Structure 1
Amino acid sequence: MIQVSRACCPPPLHRPSSLPIDLRAALAVVIVAITVLRLAGLERLPVWHDEAHSLVRVLGYDNADLQRLSDGALLTPADLLRLQQPDAERGWPDTLHALAEHPEHAPLYYLLGHLSTRLPLDPVVALRGTAAVFGLLLPLAACWLMRELFGRGAVPWVAALLLAVSPMHLLYAQEARQYALWTVLLLAASAALLRALRRGQSRDWWLYGLLLTLGLYSHLLFIALLPVHALYGWLAGRAPLPVNRPGNRPGNRPENRPEKRQALAWVLAVATALLLFSPWLAVLLSALDSAAGHTQWMERAVGTQRILLAWAQHGVRAFVDPVPQAQAPAALLWLWLPLGIALAHSLWRAPLPQRWFLPLLALAGLGPVLGPDLLLGGSRSLHVRYGLPAILGLQLMVAWSLGTAITRAAGGRSGMGPADPAGAVAQTRGVPGLVPGLVLVLVLGLGLWSQARILLADTWWTKQFSAQNREIARLANAQPRPLVVASPSGITTGELLSLAHDLDARVRIRIQSGADQPLPASERDAIVLLLPGAEVRDALPPGYTVEPVAGTWQWFLAQPSADSPPIRPPGAPVAPSPGARLP
């Protein structure tokens, strides 16, 4: 039995008393009501490239099934959507085989998704609903972690509220991918570690090991959390005892702290988790070249300025996200001024050793994403989904600053250190004391406003390069004899599967394998093209010109008149540059 002294993880210097039960009940109702929005409109936003591939693998279709689409035959949307619907003859072995072909994606979410698609639901709704269930748990996990860090009081509730109204977490809770599961397990495993350090009971360490195992199976980047936990445990074990305890002087440390037993407990939990994860690790190592090929697009250099601007937008969009375009309004970046103040307040005034945990959590998200982009070149930072731990760290530090400010304004103790003199507390009461509460209300209002816009929107920036596919489908559907033609490429099948969800049954689709295949079009038909290569352009009827569809880099329109301007789908943004921009 592993026993760890609770002295190795000192509690906050002051643990505020819990909020009144009526206020806690009211907050719980508000949080539940807001988080239930994650279950609303799961079918609304378009199915984008990655989600389409998620369905393919969850339902047990493999690369060979996708390859059959490229034999040059004319296809219907139903031919493509067959790979988005369950097949009674395909079961668990087929799903495992399909997942093993893409071992860069840990399998837990997809296996759970396989179960959900067996329910009498639309497969898209079922798979997105699986993510939404974990999105419902995210505020609860945040509340647990902040309570383990800073005790009872306003801080855990503010953390739960901020994550409940966050537009970014709403978006990823409604996406058929593993990110909602990953974020929940990041917070839950961290809270379980703090609980095990505080109580030192063997069952707490078993729970921590279990959550680590589930976390590793949720996302490969979960492994970046392990050094964070190790470093925090080491720092917490060497933290001086609080100076306000009787008989302690600044800098004193107890002689009986069982640091070796603490380290052994952690090592055993991590070793058990890694051992249980080893089967999938073996799959990954056996197909390392394939995994590297599927992630090679991340190595495309985009420039330091664009990387830093992307992170600036990610941080703001965690709190307010009013527009569906990938480029957020420049005015939103001014919100970094209050965010910076809140972060500085947390880094300077939060109690030790708890002060270190949330910045370390943020680094667990920044390090594997921003580090390679700056040092080696890459485009990982453009996709916030890979850096969600950094977003969580930012939001929780802001929650601590707001929660402690509200507590102090109410005349309570906030875990920041020795109690304020009566005069200092008195200065926070009255009108100045309303400021933290008003700031919280403003932040919650901006988040709810953003969520309302998302729930009413036809598309959003998290759909990446597929964000305009619904408009492209409308453009194709409007043609007299609609035809969609694609050249073989790394994104062809995913984009066509995404498009097929919104195409009319009369649309015909072809992946052109050679110029010797004539296109079934008359001179008055416009043809929608996906990354047309030489084999497609050579097969076009005489007199056709090819122009890019504004607002996209992969879609083009072939028209019979050389004088025809590019056709722009209604509502599509103007393309930032005429050059093609790969994902």
Structure 2
Amino acid sequence: MRHLKLTPSWLRFLIVFLLVMSILFRFFNLDSKVFWHDETYTSLRISGYTTIKVKQQIFNGRVITKESFAKFQGFNPENTLNDTIMSLATEDSQHPPLYYLIARFWLQIFGNSVTAIRSLSVFISLLVFPCIYWLCQELFNVPLSLPGIAIALMAISPIHLVYAQEAQPYILWLVTILLSSAALLRAMRVESQEKDELTKRQKPTDSFNNWSIYAVTLTLSLYTFLWSGFVAVAHGIYVMTTARFKLTETVRTYVLASLVSFLAFLPWMAIVFADFFQFLISSDGTKIQLSLTPVIPFLLMQLSRIFIDFDLSLENPLSYLILFIVLILVGYAMYFICQTTNYKVWIFILALVIVPALPLMLPDLISGSIRSNAEPYLIPSYLGIQLATAYLLATQIYNGNFSRRSIWQIIMALVIICGLVSYKVNSQAETWWNKGVSYSNPQVAQIINQTTSPLFISDAFGDNYGNIFSLSYLLKPKVRFILVQDEKIPKIPDGFTDVFLFNPSFSWRTTIEKRYKLKTEIVYNDNYYSVWKLVKSVKSRPMITKLTKENLELS
């Protein structure tokens, strides 16, 4: 680190340019991508309703329009902050309430549009840049070009663009990780300053203030995302390791600050444990089906998405070339930082990369597959990798002979270009890999919207519930819905040119066929769901009830 230099003017200009481009891309086409399954649940929690109440009101077999979904998506003046908290506590305690409460106030001011709710994440994501600067200053302890390069990497990182444009708490979680990590390092630095007479008089107050900041930021992180507990474990391992496993004053103060944070989080933790034990004794737990993907390809793909992301599948040969190149860069960055920095630096980065990811990876490495929605849990690992890469680039573009510096400057330029091109591709797409079970919703909506007078029929099983809400944002007002529970046979009115069954089970679909003497033809199918169309049987005429005001409920 002593060979690094102050930030030259060209690098300052580059950082400002990348920051501007990053901000523009974050705000560009915010509503263009599908508002997917998990985001509809975010809006549901903000509204203060529960899925039970929603099913009672619209999953009742009546004909409804897309406007019927609006009251359950976003700020609803009929419900209070307490309703939002209770919705999470009773049905989704794995998500603490901090982000949802902030989002509720945000939507109360700016409305319930997709652009409004996603813009909150965009504005939160802008806090990443000063926070990463602070963390680099505390970690590397040098006012050099390294924090600037770290800001540049964060600014053009495709993985951060994904979460900066999602109505979910993940980008807020990243901010709280940065804040708590920087606050920890600052508190430890102040604690270890030389104890001259002036420091002895001031140190207790300074130390208390800094450890108090750490306790507050860790509490905020816990109330943002439960996985912050493992980030806290990484912090604890770092403190104990740097203290050489001795009970020093720093260790004792750290334990006290962490204890305060966990005591502050205890009320929500009690709710989480209660729900967990209820899940263990509930028969519903056996019905949950998770979409799985091979663990090694998954991890490599996520690794590459830190720097380059064209939404490519593993079936594309280009993916393997990208994976190979990124793996070499990241592997060398981790090796380089371990070989060239003080152990207090590389231990922090390794702990941040490994500890939060380990509980996620170990069970999946044993089974050979991993949950396809596990990507956000790796955010601390993404951060550690980016810190190591920033250090590598900041060091190499100044050290060595001219040819060596030129090579690393080219590498840094390629990383920046890959990030910007990824941003460009992302900004023009209507769906992306992070949309999960809703990835194909735009395509399905296009099929349905092309018909003259469509009827959309589904039940509330599994992911159907969230996907129905997601599709309601994409389907035209002419589409009518009949939603049922427990695979009840719907009463299909006359007057519709096309009737679609969304992701029906085989038994439910065949029962509907027999009831109305119709056939079903599949119009769409992927790894997540299928869409079928009811068509007239050759031998018989369908028995369909008349469309009346009694069974048509317009909201």
- Pairwise same-fold verdict (TM > 0.5): yes
After superposing the two structures, state which structure 1 stretch, 53-62 or 476-485, moved more.
476-485
After superposing the two structures, state which structure 1 stretch, 544-553 or 47-56, moved more.
544-553
After superposing the two structures, state which structure 1 stretch, 436-445 or 60-69, moved more.
60-69
What is the match of residue 87 of structure 1?
76
Report the Cα offset of residue 515 of structure 1: 5.2
- Encode CA deviations 1:4-62: one digit per residue, 9 max, x unaligned: xxxxxxxx7x4845325x45753552343133132332212110000001001112112
What is the match of residue 200 of structure 2?
none
Q: How many residues align?
A: 511
What is the match of residue 322 of structure 1?
310
2: CA distance between counterparts of 1:331 and 1:80?
44
Matched to 1:458, the amino acid is E
Give the 3 Å change call, closer, same or farther, for CA 468–260 of structure 1 in structure 2: same
Give the 3 Å change call, closer, same or farther, for CA 143–74 of structure 1 in structure 2: same
Matched to 2:502, the amino acid is L
What is the match of residue 49 of structure 1?
37
TM-score w.r.t. length of structure 2: 0.85
Report the Cα offset of residue 445 of structure 1: 0.7
Identity across aligned pairs (percent)?
26
Report the Cα offset of residue 505 of structure 1: 1.3
Corresponding position: 1:181 with 2:172: yes
What is the match of residue 9 of structure 1?
none
What is the match of residue 197 of structure 2?
none
Report the Cα offset of residue 80 of structure 1: 1.7
> Is the contact made by 1:485 and 1:536 (CA closer than 8 Å) also made in structure 2?
no
Q: Secondary structure at the match of 1:538?
A: helix
Give the 3 Å change call, closer, same or farther, for CA 120–353 of structure 1 in structure 2: closer
What is the match of residue 168 of structure 1?
159
Q: Secondary structure at the match of 2:389?
A: helix
Matched to 2:334, the amino acid is L
What is the match of residue 218 of structure 1?
224
Matching residue within 329, 334, 348 for 2:324: 334
Matched to 2:213, the amino acid is L
Corresponding position: 1:491 with 2:463: yes
After superposing the two structures, state which structure 1 stretch, 379-388 or 134-143, moved more.
379-388
What is the match of residue 549 of structure 1?
524
Report the Cα offset of residue 67 of structure 1: 1.7
Give the 3 Å change call, closer, same or farther, for CA 82–140 of structure 1 in structure 2: same
Q: Secondary structure at the match of 1:547?
A: strand
For 1:355-374, what aligned pairs fall within 5 Å after superposition?
Answer: 355-374=346-365
Matching residue within 523, 526, 530 for 2:503: 530
1: CA distance between counterparts of 2:308 and 2:69?
37
What is the match of residue 143 of structure 2?
152
Corresponding position: 1:503 with 2:475: yes
- Encode CA deviations 1:266-307: one digit per residue, 9 max, x unaligned: 01110111111112112222322466789988874847xx11
What is the match of residue 8 of structure 1?
none
What is the match of residue 431 of structure 2?
459
What is the match of residue 567 of structure 1?
none
Matched to 2:40, the amino acid is A
> Is the contact made by 1:81 and 1:497 (CA closer than 8 Å) also made in structure 2?
no
What is the match of residue 109 of structure 1?
99
Give the 3 Å change call, closer, same or farther, for CA 231–120 of structure 1 in structure 2: closer
Corresponding position: 1:539 with 2:512: yes
2: CA distance between counterparts of 1:215 and 1:233?
18
> Is the contact made by 1:512 and 1:536 (CA closer than 8 Å) also made in structure 2?
no
> Is the contact made by 1:473 and 1:503 (CA closer than 8 Å) also made in structure 2?
yes
2: CA distance between counterparts of 1:291 and 1:483?
36
Corresponding position: 1:232 with 2:238: yes
- Encode CA deviations 1:282-341: one digit per residue, 9 max, x unaligned: 2222322466789988874847xx111110100001100113658663332222233322
What is the match of residue 470 of structure 1?
442
Q: Secondary structure at the match of 1:457?
A: coil
Report the Cα offset of residue 484 of structure 1: 1.2
> Is the contact made by 1:166 and 1:320 (CA closer than 8 Å) also made in structure 2?
yes
Q: What residue ranges of structure 1 are gaps of 5+ in the alignment?
A: 1-11, 240-257, 409-427, 564-583
> Is the contact made by 1:208 and 1:269 (CA closer than 8 Å) also made in structure 2?
yes
Matched to 1:520, the amino acid is P
Report the Cα offset of residue 561 of structure 1: 7.0
1: CA distance between counterparts of 2:279 and 2:26?
31
1: CA distance between counterparts of 2:174 and 2:260?
21
